[in-house]
Amino acid sequence: MSDVNHKTDNINNIDETPKKSVKEINLLWYFLAPYKKIIFYAFIALVVAASATLAIPQAIRRIVDLGFSSVSIEFINLYFLALLGVAVILALATFARYYLVTWLGERVVTDIRREVFAKVLTLSPTFFEKNRSGDILSRLNTDTTVVQSVVGSTASVALRNVLTLVGGLIMMLYTNWLLTAYVFMLLPFIVAPLILLGRKVRNLSKFSQDKIADASATANETIGAVQTVQSFTQETFENNKYSRVIEGAFDVAILRTRMRAILTFCIILLVFAAVDLVLWLGARDVIAGKISGGELTAFVIYSVLVAGAMGALSEVYGELQRAVGAASRCLEIIATEPDIKAPVDPKKFPDMKVGRLTFDHVNFEYPSRPGQQILSDFNLDVKGGETVALVGPSGAGKTTVFQLLQRFYDPKSGTISMDGVSLSDADPIDVRKHLGIVPQESMIFAASIAENIRYGNQDATDQMILAAAKAARADEFIDRLPEGMDTYLGERGTRLSGGQRQRIAIARAILQDAQVLLLDEATSALDAENEKLVQQALEKLMQNKTTLVVAHRLATVLKADRIVVMDHGKIIESGNHEQLLKAGGLYAHLAGLQFGV
Ligand SMILES: Nc1ncnc2c1ncn2[C@@H]1O[C@H](COP(=O)(O)OP(=O)(O)O)[C@@H](O)[C@H]1O
Ligand SMILES: [Mg+2]
């Protein structure tokens, strides 16, 4: 068993993917790159807005200095007019920035959602065995929303505040360097406690988010199983469980709010104390005639702007971090390479489809359970047009044979081929186009009957759908439904019985009209009447096709050209019904139990 690790090392588990933040940023740029022009315009708007903001104190300074001395009224008019002009520019730039940046956020999130969704559809079953669908959905919905809020606002808030901070500091120095020096001396006393408290708040925010996610997962599970809860009268138990989780979320939220309130208290107190102190020093300089009143006014406004920018930055920093985390969760999915994908130069199947299936010394184990051989030295040759019934106890590996034929997994060794082409050399999509499937559990979508049947072939006309329904013996119940073909089936088709669902699935396969049929026959949920109808439908479907059927019914077994008996992943017998009965092996035993022969 030298190649036990053959497949296990490239299992796609998003939780185990190493975090490569540089690569993630690059990927984020991959989403932003198509919109370089918009980003450029938004940046210009941002710079203009920041400059306008920084220009206002200069105008005010002049007004204070000149306006209150004996200068002509024209001068005053001019300055107030200039101030108004700056305000107009500020408003326009802010308008443009808001629109462009929000547009960008919405656009990028839409693109990410589309890519994540498209990627998820290409991933092989191994991925879904390792990752909960709830987790994938939360990446698609919640995480993208975080990215949106960052690209669509936080990033521009951050950039604006960086510009205001740097610009404001320069203007402070320009206005009065001595006062600026005082401010710098005070700075550590203001910033240090804010950073410390800010970190606490941030950690609690994340914790609070996790708690909320917990609560919604709990609610989700319970609501999904609400009938079971009611059947077992476990409402109180579930209520208590949910209450515990949601109260836990409340406690953390309150803790965070308390920290946040303390932070706000400190910000206000420290910033105003500092402004007060600097103002006091400045006022003494004004009285001493060292600086003008306008200068002091402008200086105070700049320091308030700078302080505000610092506060805002400390706040958005946490947001940015959260967004990098969220973006990486989305990008991890996008970067996931499917286990099963088309080779660089996929082989095509011959145009003349015969539908011959060959298993040649196939060994297989599921990647999620390495070391547990499911198929061992499996050999089977199904000729074009032949019907082979697979019989065997539960767990023998019958469904696994179907999984391999659909190239959901590749064999560990040996080859599986269709019409002479090895499946591993072909595009899995091409492989599946040649296969018609009627699974054991018929999947019904929340759509109308017609749309459900059309899933077999989206190009089918209404006549074709009707004909398929008829051939599948589904018209019998469809005609009795109030809206016929247009009847809406509800989530997972719960409004139909098992036999009805199965006939819809058969109609879908009839419409698909593939050369090879894979039937995982189901007996449960079928009464005698229904079973006869399904049987007739299947016979119609199987005409002139290669069929591999997991048989549970005697009728199917008798119709098959060949019966293959499987146990523990091996073929142990094959032949027709009489031969196998006479042989007195596993088949004879199973037939006695299952068919009452
Ligand atoms: N996705 C999977 N991952 C790991 N083991 C699996 C998986 N699916 C099936 N198995 C195992 O493979 C064996 C054969 O399963 P299956 O092919 O479904 O049997 P059958 O259809 O004959 O009842 C069983 O032991 C089962 O536990
Ligand atoms: Mg099975």
Cα 541 to ligand 2 centroid, rounded to whole Å: 21
Residue 14 belongs to some domain of the structure: no
Mean pLDDT of 379-384: 94
Whether 398 lines ligand 1, by a CB cut-off of 6 Å, is yes
Complete DSSP assignment for 179-191: HHHHHHHHHHHHH
State the pLDDT confidence band at 442, using cuts at 50, 70 and 90: confident
Whether 68 shows a pLDDT value over 80: the answer reads no
Domain of residue 328 covers 19-175+319-339
Whose C-alpha lies nearest to ligand 1, atom 26?
A: 395
Domain count for the chain, please give it. 3
Which structure tokens are listed for 500?
Answer: 């009805």
The CATH number for 74's domain is 1.20.1560.10
pLDDT value of position 35:
93
Residue 470 belongs to some domain of the structure: no
Mean pLDDT of 528-553: 81
- Taking a C-beta distance cutoff of 8 angstroms, is the pair 422, 392 a contact? no
**Residue 468, CB-side half-sphere exposure with 13 Å CA sphere:** 27
Mean pLDDT of 206-214: 76
Please tell me the distance from the alpha carbon of residue 344 to that of residue 346, in angstroms, as a whole number.
Answer: 6
Considering the domain architecture, whether residues 418 and 565 belong to the same structural domain is answered as yes
Whether 13 shows a pLDDT value over 50: the answer reads no
Considering the domain architecture, whether residues 77 and 138 belong to the same structural domain is answered as yes
**Best CA proximity match to 309, nearest among 489, 170, 515, 493:** 170
State the pLDDT confidence band at 522, using cuts at 50, 70 and 90: low
Q: Per residue in 421-436, pLDDT tens?
A: 999 999 999 999 999 9
- Taking a C-beta distance cutoff of 8 angstroms, is the pair 462, 504 a contact? no
Considering the domain architecture, whether residues 142 and 185 belong to the same structural domain is answered as no
Which structure tokens are listed for 55?
Answer: 């220009």
Q: Per residue in 98-152, pLDDT tens?
A: 899 889 889 988 998 999 899 999 998 888 888 777 778 778 887 888 888 877 8
- Taking a C-beta distance cutoff of 8 angstroms, is the pair 279, 296 a contact? yes
pLDDT value of position 12:
40
Residue 270 belongs to some domain of the structure: yes
Q: What is the pTM for the complete model shown?
A: 0.75
Q: Per residue in 325-344, pLDDT tens?
A: 777 778 888 888 888 888 99
Considering the domain architecture, whether residues 153 and 208 belong to the same structural domain is answered as no
The CATH number for 596's domain is 3.40.50.300
How long a stretch of residues is the chain?
A: 597
Whose C-alpha lies nearest to ligand 1, atom 1?
A: 366
* Ligand 1 mutation target, pool 127, 366, 440, 572, most atoms within 8 A of CB: 366
Whose C-alpha lies nearest to ligand 1, atom 18?
A: 399
Residue 444 belongs to some domain of the structure: no
Considering the domain architecture, whether residues 279 and 323 belong to the same structural domain is answered as no
Considering the domain architecture, whether residues 183 and 266 belong to the same structural domain is answered as yes
Whether 386 lines ligand 1, by a CB cut-off of 6 Å, is no
Burial, 346: exposed, middle or buried (Cβ in 10 Å; 0-12, 13-18, 19+)? middle
Considering the domain architecture, whether residues 278 and 333 belong to the same structural domain is answered as no
% of the chain surpassing 90 pLDDT: 29
Considering the domain architecture, whether residues 160 and 243 belong to the same structural domain is answered as no
- List Cβ neighbours of 392 (8 Å cut-off, separation of 6 or more): 398, 565, 566, 567, 586, 590
Q: Per residue in 221-252, pLDDT tens?
A: 888 889 899 999 999 999 999 999 999 989 98
- Taking a C-beta distance cutoff of 8 angstroms, is the pair 319, 156 a contact? no
- The atom number, within ligand 1, closest to the CA of 569 reads 14
- List Cβ neighbours of 27 (8 Å cut-off, separation of 6 or more): 331, 334, 335
Which structure tokens are listed for 529?
Answer: 């009447």
Considering the domain architecture, whether residues 171 and 181 belong to the same structural domain is answered as no
Considering the domain architecture, whether residues 245 and 185 belong to the same structural domain is answered as yes
Please tell me the distance from the alpha carbon of residue 552 to that of residue 531, in angstroms, as a whole number.
Answer: 11
Query: Which residue spans within 300-401 are E strands per DSSP?
Result: 357-364, 375-382, 387-391
**Weakest-pLDDT range from 11-25, 247-261, 492-506:** 11-25
Considering the domain architecture, whether residues 161 and 87 belong to the same structural domain is answered as yes
Q: Beta-carbon neighbour count of residue 171 at 10 Å?
A: 22
Q: Beta-carbon neighbour count of residue 74 at 10 Å?
A: 8
- Taking a C-beta distance cutoff of 8 angstroms, is the pair 32, 109 a contact? no
Whether 394 lines ligand 1, by a CB cut-off of 6 Å, is yes
pLDDT value of position 11:
37
* Ligand 1 mutation target, pool 374, 391, 402, 520, most atoms within 8 A of CB: 374
- The atom number, within ligand 1, closest to the CA of 372 reads 5
Mean pLDDT of 410-425: 94
* Ligand 1 mutation target, pool 399, 412, 549, most atoms within 8 A of CB: 399
- The atom number, within ligand 1, closest to the CA of 394 reads 23
Residue 48 belongs to some domain of the structure: yes
* Ligand 1 mutation target, pool 400, 519, 549, 594, most atoms within 8 A of CB: 400
Whether 366 lines ligand 1, by a CB cut-off of 6 Å, is yes
Which structure tokens are listed for 183?
Answer: 């401010």
Q: What angle do CA 372, 374, 375 make, to 5 degrees?
A: 135
- DSSP category for residue 354: -
- List Cβ neighbours of 153 (8 Å cut-off, separation of 6 or more): 101, 102, 105
State the pLDDT confidence band at 554, using cuts at 50, 70 and 90: confident
Whose C-alpha lies nearest to ligand 1, atom 16?
A: 397
Which structure tokens are listed for 60?
Answer: 């005010």
Residue 415 belongs to some domain of the structure: yes
Residue with structure tokens 């049929």? 517
Whether 396 lines ligand 1, by a CB cut-off of 6 Å, is yes
Q: Considering every ligand atom, which ligand is closest to the CA of 440?
A: 2
Whose C-alpha lies nearest to ligand 1, atom 17?
A: 397
Whether 546 shows a pLDDT value over 90: the answer reads yes
pLDDT value of position 570:
92
Cα 401 to ligand 1 centroid, rounded to whole Å: 10
Q: Which residues pair with 564 in a beta bridge?
A: 390, 574
Whether 20 shows a pLDDT value over 50: the answer reads no
Whose C-alpha lies nearest to ligand 1, atom 7?
A: 366
% of the chain surpassing 70 pLDDT: 92
Please tell me the distance from the alpha carbon of residue 419 to that of residue 403, in angstroms, as a whole number.
Answer: 18
Residue 558 belongs to some domain of the structure: yes
**Weakest-pLDDT range from 313-322, 504-513, 519-528, 570-579:** 519-528
Task: Work out the mean pLDDT of the chain and round it to a whole number.
Answer: 84
Most confident residue range from 184-188, 410-414, 536-540:
410-414
Considering the domain architecture, whether residues 130 and 194 belong to the same structural domain is answered as no
- The atom number, within ligand 1, closest to the CA of 398 reads 22
Whether 5 shows a pLDDT value over 60: the answer reads no
Last residue of a domain, one of 273, 305, 339: 339
State the pLDDT confidence band at 24, using cuts at 50, 70 and 90: low
Q: What angle do CA 28, 31, 35 make, to 5 degrees?
A: 125
pLDDT value of position 23:
59
Whether 552 lines ligand 1, by a CB cut-off of 6 Å, is no
Q: Per residue in 257-297, pLDDT tens?
A: 898 888 888 888 887 888 788 888 888 988 888 888 888 88
